[in-house]
Amino acid sequence: MISNQLAQNGLELFPGAMLSTTLPDLTKHAHQVLKANKTEEGIILNKNNVRYSVLLNPIRHQETVLGIFCIFQDMTAMEKVTSQMKSFKDLSIELDTIIDSSNDGLWICDGDGVVLRMNPASEYLTHVKSADMVGKKMTELVEEGLIDQSVTLEVLKTQRKASILQKTRHGKELFLTGSPVFDSSGKMFRVVVNERDITEIKTLQKELEEKVALTNQYRQDLLEMQIEEMESRQIIAKTPEYINIIQQAVKLATVDSTVLILGESGTGKGVVADLIHKYSPRKDHPMIKLNCGSIPESLVESELFGYEKGAFTGAGKRGKPGKFEMAHKGIIFLDEIAELPLSSQVKLLRFLEDGQISRVGGTTSQKVDVRIIAATNRNLKEMVAQKQFRSDLFYRLNVIPLTMLPLRKRRDCILPLINHFTDKFCQRYGKKGVTLSREAMGAMLEHSYPGNVREMINICERVVVMSQDGHVGLKDLPASIRDGMATAPSGGEMWHPGQTLKEIVDAVEKEILEKALTFHGTQAKMASSLGLNQSTVARKLKKHLLI
C-alpha cells in the first residue's frame, strides 16, 4: 500500500498496512472493483469522526488489473456549507414573508439611494407599483414628482436615522422613518424606510376619544351604583336641615313636576333622584341616567334623542333609540345638566314645552311620557347671566329646586356614615370589624370632606383595607386628613368668655363619650378604644346622663 501524508494522518493508511485491517468497511468495495474491473464511487466512510466520500478506480496494465487507486474526499466542510446554504435560504424566505406581510409600508434602498424593494403595503399607501420604482434612484423619483420629498436622501446625507411627514397625491398623510444600515467596515450600504398611515390613526384616535368618553360615563354610573349599594338605598339623615331635604324629596315623588337638584359633587344628588323614583307612581318603569358632562358634544344629541339609520358616519344600520325613548313612562335623570351643549338645550326645551322628540336625521316627531330630574354642581343663574346656559330652559327646569347640603354642614351624619360604610366594606372584604384609635376617629370627624360622600366612601374603604388586625391609627389615614389635624383649631380656641375650665372639660368629655358610644355600641369597646377601665366609662356615662 502506498499513501500520501494526509491519508496517513487522517486514515492511518501507512505503507505496508493491510486494507482489511485498517479500513475493513472498504474491503468489500475494493474486492468488487478488482473483480469487476470497474470504478466505484460515492462510497461513504466514517473514520475518526470524519465523513469521507471515497472513489475506487482500478489500475490497469493492458488487460490486467494491477491494483486500486483510492481518492478520499473530506465531506465535513462541504456538508457544513450545504447546511449553511439551506439556513440562508430559509432565512431569506422568512424575511420575505415578514416584509411582504407587514401592514406598514417598507422601502429598501442601497447606499446610493437606488430602490431595491418595496412591499405590497407601500404600494397600497403610495399608489405606485414596485415594478416602476425598483432600480430607480430616489433623486429621480423626486425630480419626476412621484414623491414630494424623500427621507432616504436625508439619511444618505446625514447617515443618521430621520423622520418626516409626507402627503401622497391621494390625500393620505404618512409618517416616514428612514434607518441606515452599516456593514462591518462602517460603510452604509442600505437604507430601510418605514411608512405608517397616520390618517387612519387620527381617525382611530377620534373614535377612541369618543369611546373613552362613553367609558367615563359608564364608570360614573358604576360609582353611582356603588353609592347605591353601600347605602342599601337607605339615606342616613341626622341633621335637621338634611332630614327636611329628604322629606321634601319624598313629597316631590308623588307629583310629576320637573325637579332641579343643586349641590356640590358627591352630596348625593343621584341618591335623592333614586329616592324620588322609588316613591313615585313611575317606580315600575325605567329610571334612565345620563351624565351630560362625560359624553362628547357631537354625541350628546344622539344619546338623548336617538338617531335614524344613516344619520351620520358610523350610525347603525337600524338606527338607535335615545334615552328619552328608553325612559318612556319613567324618569330620566340628567346629571351635570350645566354641561349640556346649547344646541341640545334647544331640543330639551322643546320637549319640556310639547313632550315630543325627534331623532337625529329623522323627519318625524313622537310623543313620549317622561318626567325629568336634572342635577348640577354649578351656579346656573351665573351661567345664564354669562349666556352659557339658556334662560328659558333654566326657568323650565327650576320648577322645584332642591339644594343638597355638603357633608361639612351635616356634622351629625358623619359618625353614622363612617360606621355604615366601614361595616359594609368589612362585609365585602371578609373582615370582622375595624377599630379606629382616638386620634384617627378625631381626624375623621374633623375632616371637611370637600369630596363629600364619595370622598368618605373612598376613605372608609382604604381604612378597612389598610387596617392591621382590625386596628386603624392616624398613620393609616390619607395625608389630606392627617394634614387637616395639624391645622385644626387648638383647644384654647374652644374657650368662650364666661366659661370655666371645668365646664369646657366636661363639655368636651361629654361630646367624646357620646360619639364613642355611638361608634362602638358597647362600654367594653369604648373602654378599650379610650384607654380606660369599663367601670370608669360607665361612671362617666352616668355623670353626663348618657345612659
416: pLDDT strictly greater than 60: yes
Cell triple for 116:
431595491
Domain assignment of residue 227, yes or no:
no
Q: Determine how β-strand 471-472 pairs with β-strand 435-436.
A: parallel
The lowest-confidence range among 274-278, 363-367, 485-489, 517-521 is: 485-489
Note whether 375 and 286 are same-domain residues.
Answer: yes
Domain assignment of residue 226, yes or no:
no
| pLDDT band with cut points at 50, 70 and 90 for residue 494 | low
Torsion of CA 199, 205, 211, 212, to 10 degrees: -170
CATH code of the domain containing 328: 3.40.50.300
Each residue's pLDDT tens digit, 395-408:
999 999 999 999 98
26: pLDDT strictly greater than 50: yes
**What is the distance between the alpha carbons of residues 499 and 515, in angstroms, rounded to a whole number?**
23
Note whether 400 and 316 are same-domain residues.
Answer: yes
pLDDT value of position 373: 95
Note whether 322 and 358 are same-domain residues.
Answer: yes
486: pLDDT strictly greater than 60: no
Domain assignment of residue 18, yes or no:
yes
Note whether 278 and 335 are same-domain residues.
Answer: yes
Percentage of the residues of the chain whose pLDDT score is greater than 70: 90
Note whether 239 and 140 are same-domain residues.
Answer: no
Note whether 140 and 53 are same-domain residues.
Answer: no
489: pLDDT strictly greater than 50: no
- Taking alpha carbons only, the member of 7, 146, 143, 1 closest to residue 72 is 7
In total, the chain counts a number of residues equal to: 547
Last residue of a domain, one of 405, 424, 444: 405
Domain assignment of residue 79, yes or no:
no
Contacts (Cβ under 8 Å, ≥6 apart) of 494:
504, 508
Each residue's pLDDT tens digit, 301-312:
888 888 887 555
Distances (CA, A) of 75 to 51, 72, 82, 516: 5, 9, 10, 94
Domain assignment of residue 214, yes or no:
no
Q: Tell me, what amino acid is at 176? A: L
Note whether 372 and 386 are same-domain residues.
Answer: yes
Domain assignment of residue 219, yes or no:
no
**What is the distance between the alpha carbons of residues 62 and 37, in angstroms, rounded to a whole number?**
12
| pLDDT band with cut points at 50, 70 and 90 for residue 46 | confident
pLDDT value of position 147: 75
**What is the distance between the alpha carbons of residues 217 and 293, in angstroms, rounded to a whole number?**
8
DSSP class of residue 311 equals: S
Residue of higher predicted confidence among 101 and 137: 137
Note whether 259 and 304 are same-domain residues.
Answer: yes
Angle at CA 505, nearest 5°, toward 499 and 507?
A: 80
| Number of domain units in the chain | 4
Q: In a 3-state reduction of DSSP, which class is residue 52?
A: strand
Stated pTM of the model = 0.49
**What is the distance between the alpha carbons of residues 296 and 39, in angstroms, rounded to a whole number?**
89
| pLDDT band with cut points at 50, 70 and 90 for residue 80 | confident
Q: Please give the residue range of the domain that contains residue 34.
A: 5-74
| H-run or E-run covering 462 | helix 452-466
Domain assignment of residue 208, yes or no:
no
- Taking alpha carbons only, the member of 283, 286, 294, 371 closest to residue 338 is 294
Note whether 417 and 539 are same-domain residues.
Answer: yes
Note whether 155 and 260 are same-domain residues.
Answer: no
Do 79 and 51 touch, CB atoms closer than 8 A? yes
**What is the distance between the alpha carbons of residues 304 and 295, in angstroms, rounded to a whole number?**
11
Contacts (Cβ under 8 Å, ≥6 apart) of 390:
342, 345, 346, 349, 384
**What is the distance between the alpha carbons of residues 455 and 480, in angstroms, rounded to a whole number?**
11
| pLDDT band with cut points at 50, 70 and 90 for residue 71 | confident
**What is the distance between the alpha carbons of residues 489 and 498, in angstroms, rounded to a whole number?**
20
Note whether 144 and 239 are same-domain residues.
Answer: no
| pLDDT band with cut points at 50, 70 and 90 for residue 490 | very low
**What is the distance between the alpha carbons of residues 15 and 7, in angstroms, rounded to a whole number?**
10
Q: Tell me, what amino acid is at 232? A: S
**What is the distance between the alpha carbons of residues 330 and 328, in angstroms, rounded to a whole number?**
5
Residue of higher predicted confidence among 503 and 382: 382
The lowest-confidence range among 183-187, 213-217, 390-394 is: 213-217
